[in-house]
């Protein structure tokens, strides 16, 4: 932060001194901290505003950070954009007009859509595969309308008003060395920074009357070559680099030398060159003016993305930046967990504060107003981690540790916000104790999340609930989705003989499983209780767990343990039934499917759909890639070409089977390395139509280095060389495996889903966090789980990746039958079933428990919408906005962000499809318990008002689109 302060202090001073000099700034996270530091220097705050108004300083993109575009999920991308834009609007009174994404390692297609939806019409990108730069430069197509693959199906997208113009920088990097033209040796003659004691590549000398002609010709030659790559002949040259302009002397050196050059060049009328300092907005204004004269402002159209990124500047041969898709998966998973908890906190906080404020409860409203600061902190912690050197795992170990600490603090804050909001909504007498009005620390004393996490780098564990003898244990479940939802709730209990009742007093199906300590040892102090919750849309539901007599006849869970190279003792008397494995196959079966598990490897072998009566090979393998030293690092991935792959374990695994009335599961443990649990459910509903897969892996104690752990599924689908991956969880993109490029070049990022298909079948893999993914052979699908690398790959981090942690990765696998009359030209999409299970995977119900000591009456249920939203409308967020003039205080308005998710028509509709009987033009439901004053549609981040909306009946969202509505709640 100290370097940033120096840069910004110098900027205020030097831009005031040099009135024709310009500067661009991208990341609000740093600017906001700097602004706070000027609290006692209001004249500097005014100077900053004046520079923006004069056009000398432009804030580009305006996100909290410059987000990564491969491993980040679109929820977090949107959230950090909103955080930055709302800060800009409330603090500076401005909004960004141009996008700036110069350092992410490859560019996805989702970010331009989000920028366009935020009101940004032009954007600048830098890092793409070198061959793309060559291809587009040769055709003068480095500027293009960047459209989405679904745009052509939307009538209103035929207008350029809905497009975003993208400028792709023609050269390798954004430093002065690469940005002034094609000849880096010449460019180094125009970097005038000279700081005593600092190493520099610069070959520059001061510009004088004696050498200005020669230097001006050189510079114009470079700029001219760059401008010739564009039809309008306008060149944009960047002057800067990482951590530059942090000394006053550099501002003077760069300005004074370039000023002499510019004045001389502009005086040479026969050169036909006009040159000046300018912002990104200045450049695009000039481009549009020229292109209107040339061809009516027409540009080529591009659909797709720029993954993977490949460079050639370091070694003279291609290096592929596909390693960071999977680097440091623990942090990637942690980020997605915080995303889930933050989203739930946002929705519940908005509802709770509005209900309490409209009830006139001043004390509780003031209490929740304090919680807004904690919500903001969590937003900013999540937003900061979306940075292109954070969620990518490409920062030094000590920096990653700091990121983990900030994410962990965000966790603690949102858990407190959720607990308070739920308690104040559900308690009949919301505050009867002084502790109810305490700040978030300590957390509210009555309701608390049922998980505990002592530090950021440990996996969460279930809190063991006591289950009092008389009153029972209250368990509150929050469904943050606007749809009816069936979910299996899992809680830890100390007493195993229990029953569960819903708010009406009806007992719900339940199952008690053992808790395991390692491979085969069963704990006697804690058990896992599962029960099926039928959850209304957007609701809080209170269940009660009661003790029951041990003598009552119950359905016991059955346990079978297969131990190939260890000896396990089976207890003689137990709560559970134990079986000898015998010679039977290991099978997980319900009414929809049968999954066969290999007795040798303990891994999935085949799947049969009951309705189709066809057995399909779906064989899972867990393997290592053997990586090239100094070539596989935090950024790059490069397997050893001689010995690329080897098996995970030289031992046979331990396999245990748990069978109950709600779920049956097979857990396979390779001690010290990897474990996987396959799970099927035994009731009607979408959960029963796929295979849930949970993995845990720990490479921290591995004896092997320079290895990459991955999961491969080998099927008999004839997918040829095509597969599909998601783009930031927002849409699916078709990929191709190319035999003429190396293995690492065929990997793509996946953040939510991937699938392969042929004319008859589709195999879908849903994931809980970002991975590198590929299909290297017809019928195959694989994801990298973790990487352990001793050496740096010479791309900037200067150390290996050796801080592995015990990590979990969750998956769902779906085998689906294709329709006999598929739409061949449809945009790639998941099936509705896959969308439903992906939401269960990423946004499970929030579970809160009462402390079990103090009996306080809770409402049985609160449902916040009158009926479910249309089945394909996803509630991205319901986010309270800051006051117009006070960023740190909540307003009475919230942003309702909706995504109408696409769904495939090629896949045969499953049995429990809720969309079957839904009207084509289904409408949004009204809210309950809160009163609305008005609704208006806005830009994505809520900055620009688009139109007034009379009611939710007037909300119409095209397939695939995201829309934002500002809900102004009544006073």
Annotated catalytic sites, by residue? 103
Kind of pairing between the strands at 654-659 and 663-670: antiparallel
Say if residues 330 and 902 touch (Cβ distance below 8 Å).
Answer: no
Q: Residue 352, by phi and psi: left (phi above 0), alpha (psi -120 to 50) or beta?
A: alpha
H/E element, 818: none
Strands (E), 591-689: 593-597, 604-609, 614-626, 645-647, 654-659, 663-670, 674-681
State the Cα–Cα distance between residues 25 and 33, nearest whole angstrom: 14
Instruction: Confirm if 967 and 933 have CB atoms less than 8 A apart.
Output: no
Cβ atoms of 532 and 684 closer than 8 Å: no
* Environment class of 630 (CB within 10 Å of its CB; exposed 0-12, middle 13-18, buried 19+): middle
Triad 752, 755, 757: Cα angle to 5°: 165
- 551 C-beta neighbours (distance < 10 Å), count: 7
Distance CA 58, CA 62 (A): 10
375 burial class (0-12, 13-18, 19+ CB within 10 angstroms)? Answer: buried
Q: CA-CA distance, 235 to 243, in Å (whole number)?
A: 24
- How many residues does the structure list for the chain? 971
Task: Identify whether the C-beta of residue 176 lies closer than 8 Å to the C-beta of residue 240.
Answer: yes
**Closest-CA residue to 742 (of 638, 881, 872):** 638
Cα Rg of the chain (Å, integer): 29
> Are the beta carbons of 378 and 410 closer than 8 angstroms?
yes
Residue 897's H or E segment, with its range, is strand 886-900
- DSSP-derived letter for residue 908 is P
* SS3 of residue 2 by DSSP: helix
Cα-based torsion angle of the residue sequence 927, 928, 930, 934 in order, rounded to the nearest 10 degrees: 30
How many other CB atoms are there within 10 angstroms of residue 933's CB atom?
11
8 Å CB contact between 600 and 806: no
Residue 434 DSSP label: G
DSSP string, 77-123: HHHHHHHHHHHIIIIIS----EEEE-SSSSB-SHHHHHHHHTT--EE
| Residues 6 or more apart whose Cβ sits within 8 Å of residue 583 | none
Q: What angle do CA 959, 962, 965 make, to 5 degrees?
A: 125
């Amino acid at each position: 932060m100290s370097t940033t302060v120096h840069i910004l202090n110098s900027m205020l001073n030097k831009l005031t001194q040099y009135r024709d000099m310009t500067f661009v700034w991208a990341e609000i996270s740093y600017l906001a901290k700097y602004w706070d530091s000027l609290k006692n220097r209001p004249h500097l705050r005014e100077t900053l505003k004046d520079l923006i108004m004069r056009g000398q300083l432009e804030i580009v993109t305006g996100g909290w950070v410059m987000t990564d575009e491969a491993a980040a999920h679109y929820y977090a991308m949107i959230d950090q954009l909103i955080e930055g834009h709302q800060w800009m609007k409330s603090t500076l009174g401005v909004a960004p007009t141009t996008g700036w994404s110069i350092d992410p390692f490859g560019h996805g297609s989702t970010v331009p859509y989000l920028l366009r939806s935020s009101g940004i019409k032009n954007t600048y990108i830098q890092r793409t595969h070198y061959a793309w730069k060559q291809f587009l430069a040769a055709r003068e197509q480095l500027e293009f309308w960047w459209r989405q693959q679904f745009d052509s199906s939307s009538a209103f997208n035929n207008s350029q008003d809905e497009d975003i113009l993208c400028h792709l920088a023609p050269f390798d990097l954004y430093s002065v060395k690469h940005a002034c033209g094609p000849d880096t040796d010449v460019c180094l003659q125009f970097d005038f920074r000279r700081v005593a004691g600092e190493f520099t590549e610069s070959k520059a000398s001061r510009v004088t009357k004696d050498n200005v002609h020669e230097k001006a010709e050189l510079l114009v030659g470079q700029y001219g070559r760059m401008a010739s790559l564009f039809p309008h002949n306008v060149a944009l040259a960047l002057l800067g680099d990482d951590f530059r302009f942090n000394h006053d002397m550099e501002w003077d050196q760069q300005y004074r030398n370039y000023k002499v050059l510019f004045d001389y060049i502009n005086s040479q009328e026969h050169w036909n060159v006009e040159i000046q300092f300018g912002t990104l907005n200045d450049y695009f204004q000039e481009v549009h003016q020229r292109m209107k004269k040339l061809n009516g402002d027409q540009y080529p159209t591009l659909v797709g993305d720029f993954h993977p990124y490949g460079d050639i500047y370091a070694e003279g041969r291609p290096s592929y930046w596909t390693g960071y898709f999977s680097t440091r998966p623990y942090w990637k998973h942690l980020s997605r967990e915080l995303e889930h908890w933050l989203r739930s906190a946002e929705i519940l906080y908005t509802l709770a504060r509005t209900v309490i404020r409209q009830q006139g409860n001043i004390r509780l409203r003031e209490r929740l107003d304090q919680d807004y600061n904690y919500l903001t902190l969590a937003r900013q912690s999540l937003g900061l981690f979306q940075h292109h050197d954070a969620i990518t795992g490409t920062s030094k170990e000590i920096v990653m540790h700091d990121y983990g600490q900030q994410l962990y603090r965000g966790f603690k804050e949102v858990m407190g916000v959720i607990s308070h909001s739920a308690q104040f909504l559900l308690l009949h007498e919301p505050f009867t104790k002084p502790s109810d009005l305490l700040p978030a620390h300590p957390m509210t004393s009555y309701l608390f999340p049922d998980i505990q996490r002592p530090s950021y780098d440990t996996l969460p564990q279930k809190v063991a609930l006591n289950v009092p003898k008389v009153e029972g244990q209250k368990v509150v479940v929050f469904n943050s989705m606007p749809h009816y939802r069936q979910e299996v709730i899992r809680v830890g209990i100390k007493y195993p003989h229990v029953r569960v009742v819903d708010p009406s007093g009806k007992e719900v199906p339940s199952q008690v499983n053992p808790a395991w300590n390692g491979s085969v040892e069963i704990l006697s102090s804690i058990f896992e209780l599962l029960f099926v919750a039928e959850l209304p849309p957007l609701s809080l539901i209170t269940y009660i767990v009661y003790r029951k007599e041990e003598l009552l006849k119950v359905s016991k869970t059955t346990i079978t343990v297969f131990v190939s190279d260890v000896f396990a003792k089976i207890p003689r008397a137990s709560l559970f039934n134990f079986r000898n494995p015998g010679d039977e196959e290991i099978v997980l079966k319900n009414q929809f499917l049968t999954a066969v598990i290999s007795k040798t490897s303990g891994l999935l072998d085949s799947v049969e759909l009951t309705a189709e009566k066809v057995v399909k090979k779906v064989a899972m393998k867990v393997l290592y890639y053997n990586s090239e030293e100094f070539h596989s690092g935090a950024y790059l991935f490069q397997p050893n070409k001689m010995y690329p792959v080897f098996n995970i374990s030289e031992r046979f695994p331990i396999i245990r089977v748990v069978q109950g009335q709600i779920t049956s599961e097979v857990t396979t443990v390779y001690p010290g390395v990897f474990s996987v649990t396959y799970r099927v459910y035994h009731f009607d509903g979408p959960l029963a139509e796929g295979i849930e897969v949970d993995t845990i892996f720990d490479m921290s104690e591995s004896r092997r280095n320079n290895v990459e752990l991955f999961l491969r599924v080998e099927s008999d689908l004839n997918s040829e060389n095509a597969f599909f991956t998601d783009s930031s969880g927002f849409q699916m993109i078709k990929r191709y495996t190319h035999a003429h490029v190396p293995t690492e070049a065929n990997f793509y990022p996946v953040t939510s889903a991937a699938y392969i298909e042929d004319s008859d079948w589709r195999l879908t893999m849903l994931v809980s966090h970002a991975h590198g993914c590929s299909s290297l052979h017809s019928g195959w699908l694989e994801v990298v789980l973790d990487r352990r690398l001793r050496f740096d790959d010479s791309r900037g981090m200067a150390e290996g990746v050796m801080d592995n942690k015990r990590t979990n990765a969750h998956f769902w696998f779906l085998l689906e039958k294709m329709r006999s009359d598929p739409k061949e030209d449809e945009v790639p999409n998941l099936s509705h079933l896959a969308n439903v299970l992906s939401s269960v995977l990423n946004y499970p119900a929030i579970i809160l428990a009462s402390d079990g000591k103090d009996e306080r009456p809770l409402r049985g249920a609160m449902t916040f919408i009158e009926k479910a939203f249309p089945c394909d409308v996803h509630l991205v967020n319901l986010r309270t906005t800051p006051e117009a003039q006070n960023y740190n205080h909540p307003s009475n308005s919230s942003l309702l962000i909706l995504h109408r998710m696409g769904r495939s028509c090629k896949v045969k509709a499953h049995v429990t499809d809720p969309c079957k009987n839904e009207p084509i033009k289904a409408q949004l439901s009204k809210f309950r318990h809160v009163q609305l004053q008005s609704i208006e549609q806005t830009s994505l981040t809520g900055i620009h008002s688009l139109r007034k909306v009379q009611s939710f009946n007037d909300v119409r969202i095209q397939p695939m689109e995201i829309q934002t509505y500002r809900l102004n709640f009544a006073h």
